[in-house]
Amino acid sequence: MQLLTLLALASAVQAHYRFSKLVINGVQEASEWTSIRMTKNYQSNGGVTSVSSADMRCYQASPGKATATVAAGSVLGFAANAAVTHFGPVQFYMARVPDGADINTWEPAGDVWFKVGSISAVPPLGSTEATWPAYNKKIVEVTIPAAVPSGKYLVRVESIALHQAQAAGGAQMYLSCAQVEVTGGGNGTPGPLVAFPGAYSPNDPGLIWSYYPVPTTYTAPGPAVWQG
């Protein structure tokens, strides 16, 4: 019994993760929470389970400290402190920081987020790496759209863990927000713009998972990826 408890605890600890370092032009930041706002799970590594919570924005514990410079069209990575050991999609959103606002303290409320990436299921569906390309990765990557206008943005990474999502409210969102200044941007008009909370409903099919029968199709929650 004790051994089983220990094993359960060990796997629970191993199971969680936090996205705490940016990878810019292939170089990982030396310290956690440099260009990423520190999240409330910086010790627990737990996920957000209420999609109606303001924690869905950035899950943040404290204001930002630094801003990374990234070129439009380049690849930005988010490094987790441990591998992404829960299956499910990994998605990326951006929100433009209004002119004159302080990027360290700006609260991304209202319809400000557009989706820029979704690493989702590859059929046939299952709960393994073969279905979920981000599974077991320590770094997940998104391309900053070439057409996004230059300026300051929050970039939000979100790993949706489906292993306990057999009923509404069971999905766990592991997320954080990076602060970036996009240079060399384009003239696009990003959209559609959505709000967190608001973009997801607990009953979204993409937030529910059935081990048996395994679904034949899967659609990640939220709007379509902006096509620049």
Residue ranges in contact with Cu ion by CB under 5 A: 15-16
Q: Which is nearer to Cu ion, 103 or 162 (CB)?
A: 162
Q: Which is nearer to Cu ion, 68 or 119 (CB)?
A: 119
**What are 126's two structure tokens?**
């299952």
Q: Which is nearer to Cu ion, 15 or 146 (CB)?
A: 15
The identity of residue 28, as a single letter, is: Q
Residues 6+ apart with CB under 8 A from 218: 89, 120, 121, 125, 205, 206
Is residue 188 classed exposed, middle or buried when 0-12, 13-18 and 19+ CB atoms within 10 A define those classes? middle
The minimum distance between CB 16 and Cu ion, in angstroms, equals 4
Q: Which is nearer to Cu ion, 16 or 96 (CB)?
A: 16
Q: Which is nearer to Cu ion, 49 or 104 (CB)?
A: 49
Note whether 55 and 114 are within 8 A (CB): no
The minimum distance between CB 150 and Cu ion, in angstroms, equals 37
Q: Which is nearer to Cu ion, 16 or 137 (CB)?
A: 16
The minimum distance between CB 12 and Cu ion, in angstroms, equals 7
The minimum distance between CB 86 and Cu ion, in angstroms, equals 6
Q: 181 - beta bridge partners?
A: 69, 152
The minimum distance between CB 56 and Cu ion, in angstroms, equals 17
The identity of residue 68, as a single letter, is: A
The minimum distance between CB 184 and Cu ion, in angstroms, equals 38
CA distance 138 to 96: 27
Q: What are the Cα distances from residue 1, in Å, to 7, 13, 55, 146, 214? A: 10, 18, 36, 56, 32
The identity of residue 76, as a single letter, is: L
Three-state secondary structure call for residue 152 = strand
Size of the chain in residues: 228
**What are 184's two structure tokens?**
């060399």
